[in-house]
Amino acid sequence: MALASDPIASPLSPDQQMVEELPFRELRGPLLWFFALLTLVINVLVLNQLLNLGFLLKFTLIENRYLYLLAALTLPLAYLAYPLTSRRATSMAWYDLLAAMLCLIVGGYFAWNGERILAQGWEYSAPTLAIVMSGMLWLLVIEAVRRTGGLPIAVIIVIVSLYPVVADKMLGPISGIAQTLPDTLAYHVLSAESAFGIPMRAFGELVVGFIVFGVALNHTGGGKFFNDVAFALVGHIRGGAAQVGIVSSALQGSISGSVISNVISSGVVTIPAMKRTGFTAKYAGAVEAVASTGAVLMPPVMGSTAFVMASFLGISYGEIALAAAIPALLFYFGLMVQVDAYAARRGLRGLTREELPRLGATLREGWVYIAVFAVLVYLMINESLEALAPYYATGLLLVINQCLPRHRMNLARFLDYLASTGRGLAEIVAILAGVGFIIGAFSVTGLAGTLANDLVYLAGNAPFVLLVMGAITSFIFGMGMTVTACYIFLAIVLAPPLVKAGMDPLAVHLFIMYWGMVSFITPPVALASFAAAPIARCSPFAVGFEAMRMGSVMYFVPFFFVLNPALILRGPFEEIIIVTVTAVIGILFIGAAIQGYLVGVGPAEDSARGILARVLLFASGLLFAVPGGTGVGLSHIELALLAMAVGVPAIMLLRARRPAVATVPSAE
């Protein structure tokens, strides 16, 4: 049993590992029961649609009626769970109840008229009542976005969603076909190209199940299990506490898809352990922030964004997961290399075996999570049941959990599980609907197509320039948005011009996903760094700037695989092997240059010679990692030879250090 001073002792109980980022209302009594019941009804509705049960009455919902009904049931959760202000609340305000009822009524109105909306073309000629209801739903979604996503994203959605009203008055490339305000509001709600288009379809078909599974996993002790496995595997090696943060965050974040909750739930255990073993506060916070951010890129689950990507590209989720594997592993390899170099340079050792859980005992106690995870992956990859797999896995998990005494749920804990699930659903449905308004604004004005042409024109015949423009755009729009919301917006606006420039579509979509996440660790926004800073007890900006340095691989890897898709397993087998091997060598050198220590060689001096060695090592790493081909104008062999020509002098400079400077021994 872990002692209070034990670095792996978590201050959270197993059913509290899923930590919400937002201050939510503590519901009690009848309201809690109503909230839980509504969450349960939503899942019954989704399962009815996915399994085509027809409510056991052979009554099948057409798609738009299903999506309206889903919104009618889910949006009220945002008003019940999240109060008007950012302060936690226990009492329910009358206006929140009124807003929740309006969501039910307005959403129900559109669901009732689903067939008429399609048959009579209401998106272009809606009756007056439908326009009024559309305006009400627009307002309700905007306020739900403000409560769950924050004021900045709500303001952006308001401005862009109303852009069609003044589109003809805009200049140059952002001018478009103007619409009246009533027509704009009607289009947003009644068309299949706005709020109830791709975002809501992805939510109703894929996202709900994974939110249910992620919350179930954490409420049954999965978060603690992943932490314990990570400690048992790598806690003893050099810099072990930080390596644990990397491994546990990758395991948890891959499933949850939420960067901030991953930082909090994993960081409360790993950050104190890192500080206790000699890491500085800002470095410990940065490790957790970067590892949690990268977890959403990590197969086999990748949060919910990968499933939205599958909808956009019209390919299977398994193909996306396979393509994302090598870039994600390169990212985590670069992070682990830096942690090892940092620990070696400062002589930081791992935790003692006595402080760590036993791997065998941990696996025996947590075998259920491994079994369930295996079932989930098998159903997604082998059976292509991306939508139903999380429900089957959740059902199996809950049944096994109830057969074991350790984390068995009673009625109170089951209600808490449903409430946490409802909060997760409310948060993401509001933001996805809001992002849908942005997509609708570009669609109705014709800007989506013309903007792509204008960006290609501005970039000329230089694909790299277009990539840099795309990276900057992705970074800006990634500020403050959830990963999924940012990806959906950029997939509409930015992906078409990049694909039009001749780049691989899957590589492009992964590129904008990566760069949309960079803002989570990059000041001034750096949401992951801001979440880690209070746990580390240091300045958020100090954590943010350290995270930028640690997460530097994230800035380069997207350019590597978009310039040569061999890194995402698109190309001849021999080329994939060569590109991957050289990328591993390159990232090893880049990490060593950033931290000032090359494994097997030793540290760089704090002198002009040491600085020169690090610069040459960094340049050599870039040359190794950049894949050869048409994108860069040099072959793999030419780049490798050039990299060796730069890297060999760097290694010689490191070996030529003064005799007084000795290599720090490994703690392994």
Count how many residues are written for the chain.
Answer: 668
Do 218 and 367 share a structural domain?
Answer: yes
Do 252 and 110 share a structural domain?
Answer: no
Ranges under pLDDT 50 in the chain? 1-21, 660-668
**CA terminus-to-terminus distance, the chain:** 25
Q: Which domain holds residue 589?
A: 571-668
Do 50 and 124 share a structural domain?
Answer: yes
Q: Say if 341 falls within a structural domain.
A: no
Q: Answer yes or no: are the C-beta atoms of 217 and 87 closer than 8 Å.
A: no
> Cα–Cα distance between 487 and 307 in angstroms, integer?
11
Q: Answer yes or no: are the C-beta atoms of 593 and 334 closer than 8 Å.
A: no
**Which of residues 184, 214, 242 is at a domain's end?**
184
> Cα–Cα distance between 173 and 599 in angstroms, integer?
51
Do 172 and 256 share a structural domain?
Answer: no
Which pLDDT value is given to residue 258? 63
Do 130 and 220 share a structural domain?
Answer: no
Q: Say if 507 falls within a structural domain.
A: no
- State how far the alpha carbon of 312 is from the alpha carbons of 65, 151, 208, 254, 305, in Å: 22, 28, 18, 20, 11
- State how far the alpha carbon of 287 is from the alpha carbons of 213, 242, 294, 547, 591, in Å: 26, 7, 11, 7, 14
- CB-based contacts of 224: which residues, under 8 Å, 6+ apart? 10, 12, 14, 17
H runs (alpha helix) in 404-539: 411-445, 447-459, 463-477, 483-493, 495-500, 505-517, 527-536
Which pLDDT value is given to residue 3? 34
Can you spell out the DSSP letters for 316-345? -HHHHHHHHHHHHHHHHHHHHHHHHHHHHH
Neighbouring C-beta atoms of residue 325, cutoff 10 Å: 16
**Residue 195: closest CA among 299, 90, 70:** 70
Do 176 and 61 share a structural domain?
Answer: yes
Tokens of 213: 């599974």
Read off the pLDDT of residues 199-242 as tens digits, 9 standing for 90 and up: 788 788 877 888 888 788 878 887 778 778 888 888 888 888 88
Do 71 and 163 share a structural domain?
Answer: yes
Structural domains of the chain, count: 3
What is the DSSP secondary structure assignment for residue 570, as one 8-state letter? -
Q: Say if 40 falls within a structural domain.
A: yes
Give the amino acid at 35: F
Do 288 and 140 share a structural domain?
Answer: no
**Which of residues 430, 449, 481 is at a domain's end?**
430
Radius of gyration of the chain (CA): 25
- CB-based contacts of 34: which residues, under 8 Å, 6+ apart? 80
Do 159 and 227 share a structural domain?
Answer: no
Which pLDDT value is given to residue 189? 93
The Cα angle at residue 627 between residues 622 and 633, in degrees rounded to 5: 100
Do 159 and 268 share a structural domain?
Answer: no
> Cα–Cα distance between 174 and 592 in angstroms, integer?
45
Q: Say if 458 falls within a structural domain.
A: no
> Cα–Cα distance between 325 and 139 in angstroms, integer?
41
> Cα–Cα distance between 211 and 195 in angstroms, integer?
20
Q: Answer yes or no: are the C-beta atoms of 589 and 620 closer than 8 Å.
A: yes
Task: Tell me the sheet residues that pair with 602.
Answer: 598
> Cα–Cα distance between 92 and 101 in angstroms, integer?
13
Do 312 and 413 share a structural domain?
Answer: yes
Task: Tell me the sheet residues that pair with 629.
Answer: 634
Q: Say if 531 falls within a structural domain.
A: no
Q: Say if 548 falls within a structural domain.
A: no
Q: Say if 490 falls within a structural domain.
A: no
> Cα–Cα distance between 205 and 203 in angstroms, integer?
6
Do 377 and 255 share a structural domain?
Answer: yes
Q: Say if 559 falls within a structural domain.
A: no
**Which of residues 385, 409, 430 is at a domain's end?**
430
